[in-house]
Each structure stands twice: as structure tokens, then as C-alpha cells.
Amino acid sequence: MADRTSAALSRLTLTDFRNYEHLDLAFSKPLIAFVGDNGIGKTNILEAISFLTAGRGLRRAPFADVGRVSGPGSWSVSTILNQNGDETRIGTGLTSGEAGRRVRIDGEDVRSSENLL
């Protein structure tokens, strides 16, 4: 059986993502659940996290549709990921007017979201 490793988000930042103009969450313990009233953005947070891996996200929405409705048309999601004592900074987002999303790992642009695997 393969060895398993665990990874945990220690910070999640959203800018102009879905219903969030700006959100900055710090996690001090392993995250288990989001709890709150309907319509406050719990699923939007999960969708944002899903963009931190390869693919088109939880809802598979066109990237241009992910930005905040009254926002500038661009959006970003970033995190600090801790795995086996190592810290990695991951970010992705769309710049208004561009066709695809950008992906950065530790401040460096990468060619494809496949690098997130």
C-alpha cells in the first residue's frame, strides 16, 4: 500500500470571486465543515478551493462567469498549503480580457493547471 501524506490549508484568500469582494480565512486546525445559513457563500468557498487543483473547478463554470457580478471581471484564489512540514503558496485567477486562467506556484507562473497535481 502506498504511503499517504496529508495536506492542509493554513490560509485562503479570495478576491472578486463569486459573492466575495475579498475574503481572507486563516485556518489553525484541520478544516472539517463550513456551517451557516443558505446563500452566504459556503459552496463558493468550496468551489474556490477546487480551483487550486487541475481542472475547471467544482461547478465547471466558464472562467469568465466566476468573477463577482459587480466586480471588474477578474478574480483570484490563493492559498498557503502545508504538507509534511513544507509550505507551498498556490494561486490562480483570471485577468479581465484574457482567455484562460493563470496559475502560480510559490510566486512563479506555471504553464498549466496540470502543474497543481
The predicted pLDDT at position 50 comes to: 94
The predicted pLDDT at position 49 comes to: 94
Q: Is residue 89 part of a domain?
A: yes
The predicted pLDDT at position 31 comes to: 67
Q: Is residue 1 part of a domain?
A: no
Domain of 94 in residue numbering reads as 7-116
Domain count, the chain: 1
CATH number of domain containing 42: 3.40.50.300
Q: Is residue 71 part of a domain?
A: yes
3-state secondary structure labels for all residues of the chain: CCCCCCEEEEEEEEEEECCEEEEEEECCCCCCCCCCCCCCCHHHHHHHHHCCCCCCCCCCCCHHHCECCCCCCCEEEEEEEEECCEEEEEEEEECCCCCCCEEEECCEEECCHHHHC
Q: Is residue 2 part of a domain?
A: no
Ranges of the chain whose pLDDT falls below 70: 1-4, 31
Q: Is residue 86 part of a domain?
A: yes
The predicted pLDDT at position 90 comes to: 96
